[in-house]
């Protein structure tokens, strides 16, 4: 869908929400200093998800009153009540200050307006790094943690294409497609936003710490949880609603049945945003979510070029193709799919050693990869 059509559809959806609004936080829920400090404590309680707290907040009106009810045993779990006694707003603020993080509550003018339109919006966000993108300048890319090489390549290429077009890439910093999309945006010199399912210090997953440092330099890290909140299974689906809510569109690259990528896609549809999916092989478990979303109305894309066209964005030039010899070009064109080296040798009428040498040179340049002894072209070779 062209850019103007997408924006118009979101505006229509927002008007519908005004007529039939979802439950949301009271006008002054975090307006007073006492309530801002109470929000810091409430955000750290595992038993108080926004959807559980919202109906109580509608009655009590302020974060401070809700916290008082927790202390009296009328709200939250026994574990929450025990934890409240150990949580000190001053200590949380000191930890945020040490991280260079800022607190954005429901009543702050910098609260992202697009999140005010979603179901169960966070009443507080903790942000490190730069400003969060506006709705029209943000696209989410999500997918499988245990992705294929092609999926990783697609995530990276789509992330880079969006970044070159001036769009901020939003994802969850998990391994697999999330990490690939962040890396693609960073490789193109563009901004990217990581939404975490744990405390904003970003201690999870451990393998993403180096990536998170790079994201912090070029974009932002955001969480609805203060420092010290550990990752938990229920926090990742909750995180996904923020990923989808921040963005004008969500792209799904691979995902098995029951994966978080389906949840993110469903959130995006629920919030009136566009959803795109990259189809895969019918017999691959990782194709389940993209193909199901396409059946449910998501737009099928083959890669970054399709996405940019549908979003009404101009694709920035990638630069000249690599300077290949005629023999290297012939070897590349001999790869109609995963191909054994001896078949390439027969087609080029050269010895096996010469064919392997050509393929290895192409692999070193990122144009070919080896999978189980066979060679196949990468996405980077598509324009050659």
pLDDT in tens, 149-172: 889 999 999 999 999 999 999 999
33-42 and 63-71 helices cross at what angle (nearest 10)?
50
pLDDT tens readout for residues 182-208: 999 999 999 999 999 999 998 666 778
Average pLDDT in the 312-323 region? 70
| Ranges of CATH 3.40.50.450 domains, the chain | 135-310
Average pLDDT in the 343-368 region? 89
Q: Which CATH architecture has domain 135-310?
A: 3-Layer(aba) Sandwich (3.40)
| Ranges of CATH 1.10.10.10 domains, the chain | 326-381
**Paired tokens of 189:** 């010199």
User: What's the full length of the chain, in residues?
Assistant: 384
326-381 CATH fold: Arc Repressor Mutant, subunit A (1.10.10)
Checking if the pLDDT of 321 tops 70, the result is no
């Amino acid at each position: 869908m062209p850019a103007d059509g997408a924006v118009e559809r979101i505006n229509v959806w927002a008007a519908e929400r005004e007529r039939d609004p979802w439950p949301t936080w009271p006008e002054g829920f975090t307006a007073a200093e006492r309530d801002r400090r109470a929000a810091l404590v409430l955000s750290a309680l595992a038993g108080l998800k926004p959807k559980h707290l919202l109906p109580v907040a509608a009655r009590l009106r302020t974060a401070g009153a809700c916290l008082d009810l927790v202390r009296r045993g009328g709200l939250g779990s026994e574990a929450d009540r025990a934890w409240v006694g150990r949580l000190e707003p001053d200590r949380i603020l000191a930890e945020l200050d040490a991280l260079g993080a800022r607190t954005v509550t429901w009543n702050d003018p910098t609260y992202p307006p697009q999140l005010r339109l979603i179901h169960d919006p966070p009443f507080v966000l903790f942000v490190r790094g730069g400003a969060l993108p506006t709705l029209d300048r943000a696209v989410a890319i999500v997918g499988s943690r245990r992705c294929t090489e092609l999926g990783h390549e697609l995530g990276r290429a789509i992330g880079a294409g969006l970044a070159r077009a001036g769009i901020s890439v939003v994802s969850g910093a998990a391994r697999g497609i999330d990490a690939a999309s962040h890396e693609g945006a960073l490789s193109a010199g563009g901004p990217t936003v990581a939404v975490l399912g744990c405390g904003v210090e970003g201690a999870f997953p451990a393998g993403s710490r180096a990536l998170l440092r790079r994201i912090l330099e070029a974009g932002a890290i955001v969480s609805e949880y203060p420092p010290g909140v550990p990752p938990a299974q229920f926090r990742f689906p909750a995180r996904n609603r923020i990923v989808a809510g921040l963005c004008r569109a969500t792209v799904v690259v691979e995902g098995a049945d029951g994966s978080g990528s389906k949840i993110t896609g469903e959130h995006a549809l629920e919030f009136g945003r566009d959803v795109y999916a990259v189809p895969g092989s019918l017999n691959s478990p990782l194709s389940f979510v993209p193909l199901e979303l396409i059946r449910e109305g998501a737009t099928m894309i083959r890669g970054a070029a399709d996405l940019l066209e549908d979003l009404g964005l101009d694709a920035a030039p990638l630069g000249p193709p690599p300077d290949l010899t005629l023999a290297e070009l012939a070897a590349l064109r001999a790869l109609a799919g995963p191909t054994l080296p001896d078949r390439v040798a027969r087609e080029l009428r050269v010895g096996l050693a010469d064919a392997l040498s050509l393929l290895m040179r192409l692999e070193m340049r990122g144009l070919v990869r080896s999978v189980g002894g066979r060679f196949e072209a990468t996405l980077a070779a598509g324009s050659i």
